[in-house]
């Protein structure tokens, strides 16, 4: 999120906090943005919750609500579309097509792909626009079906469990082991801005990972650091990792 958008968002939050007599919904945010908003809103001392449509999602919508509202009864203004994955495509193809239509990233939740289906979560008010305009990906025709909030499907990402050893918690060491790179290639990826941890770009080779971190290497995929399992006899760290496939 750029500085101008961030300032505008925080101004909207401030306005909502001053007169919070009903739930106020904002856009979808990635993990890094959620962490920043969590810190900011904590100082405002207002009730809030992030939700993205299903338990294991990454991008989540923010809602501020009055103390007399039960968060379990919130009516989330989000919906989903699904279409068959009949030809080769990936997350970038779907996202790129949507953004070429003028749909902002803040209006989109998770884009989930299985072997035979794609689901896109979005702000509900976009339904009629997407039904009319989102008709192809990579030049191939698609026929999305649209669903209200209750029709959002939960997706669990497939992953491969890995037990790796690294010389340190440094990000260059960790990504080198996860994706089978040399330390030099890992360092180059970081300098090129291709590495993100919890959706925040990493620019320092000395940045350290911790349990719970989600690491993304552009062009290679994502992995979750589950835990540290002590050290080997040669003082190398043991990590348990899930590499998404």
Question: How many Å apart are CA 71 and CA 91, to the nearest integer?
Answer: 31
Task: Express as a percent the part of the chain with pLDDT over 90.
Answer: 79
Question: How many Å apart are CA 20 and CA 41, to the nearest integer?
Answer: 13
To which CATH superfamily is domain 78-151 assigned? RRM (RNA recognition motif) domain (3.30.70.330)
Q: Which sign does the torsion angle of CA 29, 32, 33, 37 carry? A: positive
Burial of 239: CB neighbours in 10 Å, binned 0-12, 13-18, 19+: buried
Task: Assign domain 3-73 one CATH number from 3.30.1370.160, 3.30.950.10, 3.40.50.720, 3.40.1280.10.
Answer: 3.30.1370.160
Say if CB 239 and CB 170 are below 8 A apart.
no
Give the pLDDT score at 1.
Answer: 64
Q: Where does CATH 3.30.1370.160 sit in the chain?
A: 3-73
pLDDT digits 0-9 by tens, 138-190: 999 999 999 999 999 999 877 899 999 999 999 999 999 999 999 999 999 99
Over 80: is that where the pLDDT of 213 sits? yes
Task: Please state at what angle helix 171-179 crosses helix 183-191, rounded to 10 degrees.
Answer: 120
SS3 230: strand
Most confident among 3-7, 66-70, 121-125, 157-161 (mean pLDDT): 121-125
N- to C-terminal Cα distance for the chain? 27
Cβ contacts of 93 within 8 Å, gap of 6 or more: 137, 138
Give the pLDDT score at 4.
Answer: 78
Say if CB 175 and CB 186 are below 8 A apart.
yes
Give the pLDDT score at 245.
Answer: 76
Q: Where does CATH 3.10.290.10 sit in the chain?
A: 159-244
**Per-residue confidence at 32, pLDDT binned at 50, 70, 90?**
confident
Determine the longest span between alpha carbons in the chain, in angstroms: 62
Whole-structure pTM over 0.75, yes or no?
yes
Tell me the mean pLDDT in the region 222-233. 92
Give the pLDDT score at 47.
Answer: 94
Over 80: is that where the pLDDT of 66 sits? yes
SS3 15: helix
- Mean pLDDT value across the chain: 93
Over 90: is that where the pLDDT of 5 sits? no
Task: Express as a percent the part of the chain with pLDDT over 70.
Answer: 100
Which H or E run includes 40?
helix 31-44
Q: Where does CATH 3.30.70.330 sit in the chain?
A: 78-151
Cβ contacts of 88 within 8 Å, gap of 6 or more: none
Question: How many Å apart are CA 5 and CA 12, to the nearest integer?
Answer: 11
Which architecture does CATH list for 159-244? Roll (3.10)
pLDDT digits 0-9 by tens, 82-113: 999 999 999 899 999 999 999 999 999 999 99
DSSP 73: G
């Amino acid at each position: 999120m750029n500085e101008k958008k961030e300032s505008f968002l925080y101004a909207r939050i401030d306005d909502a906090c001053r007169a919070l007599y009903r739930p106020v919904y904002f856009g979808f945010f990635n993990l890094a943005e959620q962490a920043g908003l969590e810190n900011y809103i904590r100082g405002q001392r207002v009730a809030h919750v992030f939700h993205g449509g299903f338990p294991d999602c990454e991008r989540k919508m923010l809602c501020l609500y009055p103390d007399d509202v039960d968060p379990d009864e919130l009516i989330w203004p989000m919906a989903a579309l699904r279409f068959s994955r009949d030809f080769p495509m990936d997350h970038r193809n779907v996202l790129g097509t949507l953004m070429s239509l003028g749909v902002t990233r803040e209006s989109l939740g998770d884009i989930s792909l299985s072997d035979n289906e794609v689901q896109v979560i979005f702000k509900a008010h976009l339904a009629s626009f997407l039904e009319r305009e989102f008709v192809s990906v990579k030049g191939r025709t698609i026929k999305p079906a649209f669903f209200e909030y209750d029709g959002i499907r939960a997706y669990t990402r497939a992953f491969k469990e890995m037990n790796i050893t690294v010389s340190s918690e440094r990000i260059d060491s960790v990504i080198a082991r996860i994706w089978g790179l040399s330390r030099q290639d890992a360092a180059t990826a970081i300098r090129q801005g291709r590495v993100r941890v919890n959706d925040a770009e990493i620019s320092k080779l000395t940045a350290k990972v911790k349990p719970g971190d989600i690491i993304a290497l552009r062009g290679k995929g994502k992995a979750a650091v589950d835990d540290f399992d002590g050290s080997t006899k040669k003082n190398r760290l043991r990590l348990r990792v899930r590499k998404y496939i």
